[in-house]
Structure 1
Amino acid sequence: MSLEFTRITAAPVPSTARQSMVRMRDGVRLATDVYLPEGDGPVPAVLVRLPYDKNSRFVFMDTTAERVTARGYALVVQDVRGKFRSEGATSAWNGEVNDGYDSIEWIVNQEWSDGVVGMFGDSYYGFTQWSAVASQHPALRAIVPRVTSTGWAPHVMNPGDPSIRRVPWMEGAFYLASHWVDRDTYEYQPDYSTRPLRDAFEPVFEAIGARSVAFDLTVPHAIPVDAYGTVHPYDARPVPVLHCVGWYDNIGSAQMYDYTQLAKRPGWAAVQYLSADSSDHNGISLEGAPLPADHVHSEEVLDLRMDSYIGPALDFYDVFLKGIKSPDSLPKVSWHLGHVGWRTSEVWPPKGARTVSLFLSDAQAATGAAPGGTLSKQPDASSVDWRYDPEALIPSALPMTWVQLQYHPDERATADRDDVLLFTAPTRTEPLDLAGPVELKLDVQSTAPTFDVLAKLLDVAPDGSAHMIVRGDAQGTGHGELRLDLGHTGYRVRPGHRLALVIASSDFPLYVPNSGTDENPWLATLRKPSTQTLRAGSLSITVLD
């Protein structure tokens, strides 16, 4: 049976842009818009290479161009190969290194170019920046990757620390199956009751008459893809980089992994800068959450985004593309403390930050009503069982993790379930400022050969409402210590509020349910229940005195 879908095609090229078909080394031509500033003389260029239709409202490049050209830069925006107006096969993550190099080479040979290029963009068009870094074109002088990761590739469904085995990310698979089929993109709703689960996407492939190569490389078995070729960005010539991170971004922990890894590399540490906001993948801020609309449907929301979206990048380019300001004019770290405001520091975590361990205590109470068990400064020897029932999966609190703060859901319904563990800290009498990484370590045993653990650190308000601060997941095998990277944050727990930790074994449909067996969860036709036993656990938070 075919599935109903909506096809999204390319929007018109705006009158302010001049489109060219730029030839790559293999003859494929990529659709490329140029927005030029007023005045004479060659200027530096900011290049954006994206797969989401360069002229769509979703990426609002015409609005961005107004800010970029007003500061004296050319903005060059390109559909990557195989997407929308560009030629070539549609296959995510392939060819971006060479295409990035060739696009920069085309720019520096234009009469309006002064030979200096920077790059900008979110998510996949952050990945194309890292690909250009790997190409090592000498004209590339600065990049501003936003809400992205060097490891954001089809075989890594949850990029970041490779030592953590992650829970399969259904949302990532849907992205591949809806956006990377052909030149267009598609909106539809898969039937996730289909067994095996992988077949939920087959009706739309049949209806469209094409398949997603990236999806087939990832589901049900991830096939490693060499996205960078001979040089990984970490090993390339260092380029000044402004990491723009969202504390609530679903790829935020992966981007912070890049930041911390590059800090260990000679050459890279000196040219790394961090701008971390209390925002999600789509740029919605904690200060305005929840929002009734997004930037696609609301001009007001888009206007609110623009200063924080492009402003830090333009200041960065003034230093590293134009050279009209000193690097000393830029803070090495600019970070937002949730519910307070912006701060700057020379390092991250900021000086004065320290690690505090909170132990998962009174475990026998953790499956009961709130407040459940205790987040305590002293460990105890208690343990507790919690169940995984594939016939009663824990429903996801929001439709997409990309828009965490647009919905900013109250998580108390999940916390009150008897198939999750809840641990709560004492109510704060003074502010507690979180500023750095959050990590969870568990000693867990399961009746199943594999089991999933999904955890959220919550802020519980005086009225009992609970909102997420950070989240993480990991898949365990057998028994023993399990480590979850919950990412980094800057957040104030206000007086009258308290921290709470929720631990669950499902989050559906955002994550693929565990099979409860050795069978791949994408291919399982039957899922088995299991029981997990928490024998000990500790939550590591970074606090600022």
Structure 2
Amino acid sequence: MLAVRPKKTVSMLTRDRVRLDADVYYPDAEGEFPVLLMRQPYGRAIASTVVYAHPTWYAARGYIVVIQDVRGRGTSEGEFKLFVHEIEDGEDTVNWAANLPGSNGKVGMYGFSYQGMTQLYAAAAKPPALKTICPAMVAYNLYSDWVYEGGAFCLQTNLGWAIQLAAESARIQGDVAAHYTLYAAAQDISVYDRVPSLNECLRKFAPNAFYHEWLEHSQDDDYWQEISPQCYLQHVDLPMFHIGGWFDTYLRGTLRLYKDMAERSQYRQQLLVGPWAHLPWSRKVGAVDYGLEAVSPVDEMQVRWFDLFLKGLDTGLEAESPIRWFEMGANMWHTLPIISKSNQKSYFLSSTGLASIREDSGMLSESCPESYASDVFVHDPWRPVPALGGHAVVPAGSFERSQIDCRTDVLTYTTAPLVTDLHLAGEVMAEIWCSADTPSHDLCAVVSEVHPNGSVYNLTQGYIHVPSGQDRPLKMSLQATCVCIRKGNALRLSLSAACFPAYPMNPGTGSPLGSTRLMDAQVVTLRVECGGDRASRLLLPVVDLG
């Protein structure tokens, strides 16, 4: 372990002569060292310590650590435009960092969320000094991995982030009134504005915020293609350490990036997925404590990773499985040779027609019911089904949700108590025959574990925004998961037409997002069909992890 010198604040100029500021942490030792670079928009003093060890911890292990404010953030000059300058600025920064005094010319990058995205954009430029990256909790396709899910706008996460960035912009500009108002809004985000997906605070104090553009581009059009990492990384090949969480809102992007790179890369691609939300990465997520094993191993694993690819040390990583998943319920890590490609196992919905009234009416079973049945339920915009836990709302994680399943605007379908442990690892799908009496409707699917005492804890969920009038089952992708449901417990699928404020309430009018006033939202009657030739089913990735 090395001593660490007091941090230095240093600056560089981009190719268009914009000054970017960074804090640099040096080991207090002779010799040359690799550089670890993090580029972030929240003020470099934070250094993502909400999930990572402080930069001094990495510096003590023989690295020069650089934490930089991206353009227009912190004390760096220029105008902050979301993701616009990160390729060129990232390349310039990597080249500058490689030539810092004491550098051995090799650079690695780390960080999560926006700090993960800056790694992908820097890698897109292919600077020779950048030898490896460790992107955590990122979007590969910004539209489908970050901003929208199943065609539905991710309201609470996008709105909360937009307000946070707008407040930081107001602070930098010295706008006291705007900063105070936005800060107050961030503590209690109001989603009950005149038009629920819009926000009067943002409209007033950040009229040019990216948030408004995101609402306007509700389809996966050229706007998203021009700014998504997926469009720039097709010819990039680096060793990457991918990090995700089962309750992280951006897990879709982490898994898509890993799968794409693993299929075509000549280098090691490593994947770690813990039982975490976007933050923090700790043993307790939501209302569930996953034990000491769930505490983040990321810092130690990153040092081993960087020691291998930046120092050329044999850390034993290459002899280990590239995939490490945490199995919730069993509360242990599994190393897998590949992502499980096992056959999806179908659990079919059946009902007496009272699945919104009685929890013993809707059933899940492995056999398809021969007789047809349907359940009808009503979505009232005055009292939408609330979001509770999962990956798309704050706080995220697993919570006791029996009070939601007891609502009459929620359908529940439950298995008999399991006679053996059930292990799930991978992607979860649902095919639901669902129709509505309005031009558009939404459907939310939540998979939960039901305990003998009646308590219910969510495991994974999915959401889809669809036009009505389709005579085919809705195919829904739920969040990937890895969980053990113990024998004696049961599995449940809950269906509703809202999950508010994780996603905006669908007003039922078929109008574009952000154009319908709350008072014009319609009551929606929905029908879910099952059995016969309209068999709705849940498809689960059942595996043998015993």
The verdict on a shared fold, with TM-score over 0.5 as the criterion, is: yes
Residue 390 in 1 paired to residue 381 in 2? Answer: yes
CA contact (8 A) 2:94 2:129 kept: yes
Q: Residue 168 of structure 1: CA displacement?
A: 4.7
Distance 2:422 2:251 in 1: 22
Aligned to 2:527: 533
Aligned to 2:414: 424
Where in structure 2 are there 5+ consecutive unaligned residues?
Answer: 172-178, 530-534
CA contact (8 A) 1:120 1:126 kept: yes
CA contact (8 A) 2:155 2:501 kept: no
Aligned to 2:200: 202
Aligned to 1:237: 236
C-alpha distance 415-231 of structure 1, shift in aligned 2 (>3 A)? closer
Aligned to 1:9: none
Counterpart residue identity of residue 348, structure 1: I
Q: Residue 365 of structure 1: CA displacement?
A: 3.2
C-alpha distance 490-91 of structure 1, shift in aligned 2 (>3 A)? same
Q: Residue 234 of structure 1: CA displacement?
A: 3.6
Q: Residue 155 of structure 1: CA displacement?
A: 10
Residue 215 in 1 paired to residue 217 in 2? Answer: no
3-state SS of the aligned residue for 1:103? helix
Residue 452 in 1 paired to residue 442 in 2? Answer: yes
The number of equivalent residue pairs is 510
Residue 309 in 1 paired to residue 298 in 2? Answer: yes
Aligned to 1:514: 506
Write the deviation string for residues 119-141 of structure 1: whole angstroms up to 9, x where unpaired: 11111111111111211111111
CA contact (8 A) 1:181 1:213 kept: no
3-state SS of the aligned residue for 1:365? coil
C-alpha distance 365-234 of structure 1, shift in aligned 2 (>3 A)? farther
Aligned to 2:270: 273
Instruction: State percent identity of aligned pairs.
Output: 24
**TM alignment of 1:29-108, pairs within 5 A:** 29-56=19-46, 59-60=49-50, 63-108=53-98
3-state SS of the aligned residue for 1:476? strand
CA contact (8 A) 1:281 1:402 kept: no
3-state SS of the aligned residue for 2:464? strand
Q: Residue 290 of structure 1: CA displacement?
A: 3.1
Deviates more, 1:317-326 or 1:241-250: 317-326
Aligned to 1:121: 111
Q: Residue 396 of structure 1: CA displacement?
A: 2.2
C-alpha distance 78-306 of structure 1, shift in aligned 2 (>3 A)? farther
Distance 1:417 1:61 in 2: 37
Counterpart residue identity of residue 528, structure 1: Q
3-state SS of the aligned residue for 1:475? strand
3-state SS of the aligned residue for 2:142? coil
CA RMSD, Structure 1 to Structure 2 (Å): 2.9
C-alpha distance 198-433 of structure 1, shift in aligned 2 (>3 A)? closer
Residue 175 in 1 paired to residue 174 in 2? Answer: no
Q: Residue 198 of structure 1: CA displacement?
A: 4.9
Distance 1:306 1:412 in 2: 28
Q: Residue 181 of structure 1: CA displacement?
A: 5.8
C-alpha distance 273-195 of structure 1, shift in aligned 2 (>3 A)? same
Distance 2:164 2:76 in 1: 18
Residue 290 in 1 paired to residue 281 in 2? Answer: no
C-alpha distance 79-354 of structure 1, shift in aligned 2 (>3 A)? same
Aligned to 1:345: 336
Where in structure 1 are there 5+ consecutive unaligned residues?
Answer: 1-13, 293-300
Q: Residue 26 of structure 1: CA displacement?
A: 1.3
Distance 1:72 1:31 in 2: 22
Write the deviation string for residues 302-340 of structure 1: whole angstroms up to 9, x where unpaired: x99985231221111122121101652342111111132
Distance 1:231 1:251 in 2: 14
3-state SS of the aligned residue for 1:403? coil
C-alpha distance 193-355 of structure 1, shift in aligned 2 (>3 A)? closer
Distance 2:92 2:451 in 1: 53
**TM alignment of 1:358-507, pairs within 5 A:** 358-362=347-351, 364-380=353-369, 381-397=372-388, 401-405=393-397, 408-478=398-468, 479=470, 480-507=472-499
Q: Residue 401 of structure 1: CA displacement?
A: 2.3
Residue 523 in 1 paired to residue 515 in 2? Answer: yes
How high is the TM-score relative to the length of structure 1? 0.86
CA contact (8 A) 1:45 1:113 kept: yes
C-alpha distance 330-34 of structure 1, shift in aligned 2 (>3 A)? farther
CA contact (8 A) 1:513 1:521 kept: no
CA contact (8 A) 1:34 1:77 kept: yes
Residue 255 in 1 paired to residue 254 in 2? Answer: yes
Which of 116, 124, 130 in structure 2 is aligned with 1:140? Answer: 130
How high is the TM-score relative to the length of structure 2? 0.86
C-alpha distance 120-334 of structure 1, shift in aligned 2 (>3 A)? same
3-state SS of the aligned residue for 2:483? strand
Write the deviation string for residues 108-154 of structure 1: whole angstroms up to 9, x where unpaired: 11122111111111111111111112111111111111122222369
3-state SS of the aligned residue for 1:216? helix
CA contact (8 A) 1:454 1:503 kept: yes
Which of 306, 310, 313 in structure 2 is aligned with 1:321? Answer: 310
Write the deviation string for residues 357-408 of structure 1: whole angstroms up to 9, x where unpaired: 1111226232122244111111223222222211121122259725313xx4
Write the deviation string for residues 140-184 of structure 1: whole angstroms up to 9, x where unpaired: 11111112222236995136xxxx423553431332233246534
3-state SS of the aligned residue for 1:489? strand
Distance 1:283 1:21 in 2: 31
Counterpart residue identity of residue 526, structure 2: Q
3-state SS of the aligned residue for 2:359? coil
Distance 1:272 1:433 in 2: 25
CA contact (8 A) 1:17 1:33 kept: yes
C-alpha distance 422-286 of structure 1, shift in aligned 2 (>3 A)? farther
Distance 1:441 1:240 in 2: 37
3-state SS of the aligned residue for 1:97? helix
